[in-house]
Structure 1
Amino acid sequence: MQFSFPPRSSRGAVMGFTWSQIVMVASGVLCGVTGVNLLVSGHRWAAAGLLLAAALLWVFGLVRLRGRRVTEWLPVIGGALVQRAGRQDRYRGMVFAAGSVAEHLDLPGQGAGYRWLPAVAGDGTTHVGLLAHARERTVTAALLCYGANYLLADTAVQEQRLVDWAGVLNILGTEYADLGLVRWALTTRAVPDTGNRAQRYLADRAIDTTSRAYQSLAELTAAAGPSAQRHETFVVAVFDIARMSGEIADAGGGDAAVAAVVLDKLVGIEATVSEAGVSTGGWLSPRAYAAVLRSQFDPADQAELDLRGTNAGVPAGVAPRLAGPAATETVGWSALRHDSGFSRTLWVAEMPRTLVGATWLTGLYTRVTGRRTVTLVAQPIPAALANLAARREQVARAGDELTKRKLRLVRTAREQEEARSVAQIDREQAAGHTRYRYALLVTVTAESMDALEQDTRTVKRILARAGCEAVTLYGEQDQAFLAGALPLGRGLAPVRGWWAA
């Protein structure tokens, strides 16, 4: 079974150009004409200034830089400069900020609005970690999943698993979207297996530890420790409190009612995922959820966290209020330093446009030895709005095609492929499939900047071989880390206009 992804839309407001580009080009033309007139009249210096301004406006309006238009970079660069001018590019918590974690969770940047919501499952004993965001009015939970070996399965089994997972996507995008699910994310991280199971097995089972055979095996298992990795997968569900306001009011209102309503939906989501053949380990408890967040901020703490819960008197996980970092700061424009690690987040701006199999991302998990996190965040679009979007897109492209035909302009192969993709999406929606907005983020973490550069090049090379175009999120690494490295279901821009209806 093979798939193909539609190209990113290159259609703008008029003839493929956005309004900001049109304004800049038009302003450049006015500056150029005025500059030529001043030059003819003898005002050389004024003419030179206007001609230079015209050239800069044309460059800003037409040139693309690292996968984005210059007009798209301007707000990013401006925001980063303002952030640095106000010294908001650095975060100090825990011991560096008195009382910051005395009672509540403290995360940097946009994560500052999160707080833990007390929640106990229906059995009366199991605690579930719910993160409520005060400003965005959302509640987030993470489901631990265990993957099966897909590569070694028979073709029929592979196809059935894909069909089952497609059913999960439709259920999440229809039934649970109507019940308040605003977006979901699939986060998979690869971390060092600090426990080194082979080494522990040898130590527990060995009888004669003085023999040469034992010494040889001990050296072999010890050497395998740094390269051993384990993969952890989480399905993150984000609920909108406003969409559940009626149910919350019926439950009595307050935090207890919010938790009860969300927990009821989490039971159904876990059952849906399990029915698709995916083994689950339950929704993360507050301490387990906090341990995941903490180990992402402080990779060096992974070994200690893995040992907790195995010794008497040492509970597993981390106290929920200590999930955040001690300190973070942006390094240059393309990296974030956090406690004991350096991270860089890549945005997969273009998916493979050629036919690929279901295992097209396997290399990202098997050919990289560094610490990395892959996050796919998706937002279901209601059927009525999705149909409206498809209709508007088709009408707009028909208008562009008519205009180009009148002006005798060439229609490129990419534009033709985009038009076919729009028609295909419309057919899929008519067949009952759910339309999603989505983003794929890859966060690479290393112990030093040199190792980070090397691991990033490896990841980019693997993505390029898979047919993807990866873009480093310059000037946005602090926000990108929250979206790409943490199981919080972030990373999509807020919807505006008729999308938000």
Structure 2
Amino acid sequence: MTHQSAVRDYELAPVKFSRLTRRGVLLGLSGAQLVVVGAGAITLVFALYFGGAASLVYVVPILTLCATLTWVGVGGRKLVEWVPTVSRWLRRSIRGQLLFQRRVAKPRPAGTLSLPGDAARLRQWVDPETGAVMVHDPHQATLTAIVGVTHPAFILLDPVEQQRRVTSWGRVLATTCRSGRIASLQVMERTLPDSGKGLAEWWSQHGRQNGSWTSTTYAELIDRAGPAGERHASTVSISLDMKAAGRAIRAAGGGNRGAAAVLRQEMSTMTAALRAADLAPSGWLEPGDLALILRSAYDPVVAGALERHGDLGRDLATAGPVAVTESWSSVRSDSAHHCVLWISEWPRSLVYPGFLAPVLLSSGVRRTFTLLYTPMRTDQAARNIRKKKTEYISDAAQRQRIGQIEDAQQSAEYNDVLQQEADLTAGHGILRNTGLIAVSAQDPDELERAVADIEQAAIQASCETRRLWGQQAQAFSAAALPLCRTV
């Protein structure tokens, strides 16, 4: 192979994401819309049958309500689609579940995590062989492990090296698809206030601390400038599906020990895949490391101080928040206000790798960016694609029968399904990708400004974001914690 052909094989190639499916069950209407329309139609038929035309006066308000719920949209969603979110919010508000306060005088059971909401069911398990902490979700039957990852700045690499790393990362994702035992994989990148620990250590080792004016000035400057900086930290979390791996777990001894043994195999495979992709895993997180991440997420003011003082705040049993208050549009924890945005639309046109640079490199905003990958088994993906193709073809035939014109959006979604089928036939895996951005600030006004900055940065990255109204607390645990949680 010549040098020119090798370079051409690694030229930076643009990519395109599949569109968010907006196709309904029948004639573009979703299941909930069809239920409301059907209820309105049944009401009209019964009114005309039993009361005649005179009963229309009483039926018109019901028909108007059904039409409003079905076709009027707010925030990119139809009103009927807001009903589950609003009802769940009202139920939690009536039960007093929007406020969490830790009971300081009452110790928590051993092995539990002091987290609010549905995350309170999580349990910790320390692997005796590796010392890594594994988080067990008994309801979802998953066991999660987290590894820290360091990497060079992607945008500073030349195009050939960028394409090589993109191809290598694709192999990492393909590993999770082939396993069949991975429930989800989470990539989390967060901005942290620089504690100044690195500068302080360099000055203590290389500086001339002789008490002179110059030495004193440098020491004061390092002490003040260090915490004002900002750094980025990345983690990769893998979640073992204990139901899918049930046979392997029983063969390994059963229980938590058997599940930990199976998860260790996936951890070894993931470590090898990350190193092959030129990513440097820094070791699977121990309980103290995870405690610092949880404490920093809910109480960001003390994050720098905890990092500088070594052993403080490394107790996982007390790493959760002291108080959490959820509102319709945000959530407040110990020392910060948070808001979670969902990336509802990825770029619809061709983009090059690194298109998220405006979001990831935004300065002056404390945020956590999370990508949650959910792999699908090959047989499940094939059945899902066949089902989608059948629905698209039948829906197109129904529209043609009634004379409705097919728009470009429906054609583009059908082409995306065909492309997924071609990729699956070629041996590639299918992953469901969810992007979340958790933004944090000291007060509500600063939070709104930070959210506006992130939304503008997402527009520059050709992405569309939506605020997750009415589910901020659950979304925050999914976006800001490396525990492979879902919304």
TM-score by length of 1: 0.88
Structure 1's 14 and 321: CA in aligned 2 closer, same or farther, altered over 3 A? Answer: same
Q: Give the distance between the partners of 2:111 and 2:485, measured in 1 at CA.
A: 25
Q: Does 1:489 align with 2:480?
A: no
The Cα of 1:108 is off from its aligned counterpart by: 1.2
Structure 1's 16 and 362: CA in aligned 2 closer, same or farther, altered over 3 A? Answer: same
Q: Give the distance between the partners of 2:305 and 2:109, measured in 1 at CA.
A: 21
Aligned with 1:151 (options 149, 155, 159) = 155
What is aligned with 1:138? 142
What is aligned with 1:326? 322
Contact 2:342 2:466 in 1 (8 A): yes
**Helix, strand or coil at the partner of 1:127:** coil
The Cα of 1:264 is off from its aligned counterpart by: 2.8
Question: Match of 1:73, as an amino acid?
Answer: W
Greater displacement, 298-307 / 79-88: 298-307
What is aligned with 1:406? 401
Alignment of structure 1 residues 339-418 onto 2, 5 Å: 339-418=334-413
The Cα of 1:58 is off from its aligned counterpart by: 0.7
Name stretches of at least 5 consecutive residues in structure 1 with no aligned partner: 310-314, 493-501
Q: Give the distance between the partners of 2:41 and 2:245, measured in 1 at CA.
A: 52
Contact 1:191 1:231 in 2 (8 A): yes
Contact 2:357 2:461 in 1 (8 A): no
| Count of residues in Structure 1 that have an aligned counterpart in Structure 2 | 474
Contact 1:288 1:317 in 2 (8 A): no
**Helix, strand or coil at the partner of 1:372:** strand
Q: Does 1:61 align with 2:56?
A: no
Structure 1 vs Structure 2 CA RMSD: 2.6
Q: Does 1:290 align with 2:291?
A: yes
**Helix, strand or coil at the partner of 2:155:** coil
Q: Give the distance between the partners of 1:102 and 1:268, measured in 2 at CA.
A: 31
Alignment of structure 1 residues 22-421 onto 2, 5 Å: 22-29=34-41, 31=43, 47=57, 49-95=58-104, 98-100=106-108, 104-121=112-129, 126-174=130-178, 176-177=179-180, 180-195=181-196, 197-198=198-199, 201=202, 205-206=207-208, 211=213, 215=217, 222=224, 225-226=227-228, 228-309=229-310, 315=311, 318-331=314-327, 333-421=328-416
**Helix, strand or coil at the partner of 1:130:** strand
Structure 1's 316 and 148: CA in aligned 2 closer, same or farther, altered over 3 A? Answer: farther
Aligned with 2:457 (options 462, 477, 482) = 462
The Cα of 1:341 is off from its aligned counterpart by: 1.2
Contact 2:195 2:226 in 1 (8 A): no
**Helix, strand or coil at the partner of 2:156:** coil
After superposition, give the CA deviation of every residue in 1:439-475 in whole Å (9 maximum; x if it has no partner): 1110001111111111001101111222211111111
Contact 1:104 1:115 in 2 (8 A): yes
Q: Give the distance between the partners of 1:35 and 1:41, measured in 2 at CA.
A: 8
Structure 1's 32 and 247: CA in aligned 2 closer, same or farther, altered over 3 A? Answer: closer
After superposition, give the CA deviation of every residue in 1:91-122 in whole Å (9 maximum; x if it has no partner): 11152x6223676322111111111112123x
Q: Does 1:440 align with 2:435?
A: yes
After superposition, give the CA deviation of every residue in 1:464-492 in whole Å (9 maximum; x if it has no partner): 22221111111101110111110011125
Contact 1:368 1:458 in 2 (8 A): no
The Cα of 1:26 is off from its aligned counterpart by: 3.4
The Cα of 1:324 is off from its aligned counterpart by: 1.4
After superposition, give the CA deviation of every residue in 1:305-342 in whole Å (9 maximum; x if it has no partner): 21133xxxxx37611211211111113x0111111111
The Cα of 1:267 is off from its aligned counterpart by: 1.6
Structure 1's 89 and 425: CA in aligned 2 closer, same or farther, altered over 3 A? Answer: same
The Cα of 1:60 is off from its aligned counterpart by: 0.7
After superposition, give the CA deviation of every residue in 1:274-314 in whole Å (9 maximum; x if it has no partner): 111101101101111111111111112202221133xxxxx
**Helix, strand or coil at the partner of 2:281:** strand
Name stretches of at least 5 consecutive residues in structure 2 with no aligned partner: 1-12
Contact 1:202 1:218 in 2 (8 A): no
The Cα of 1:40 is off from its aligned counterpart by: 8.7
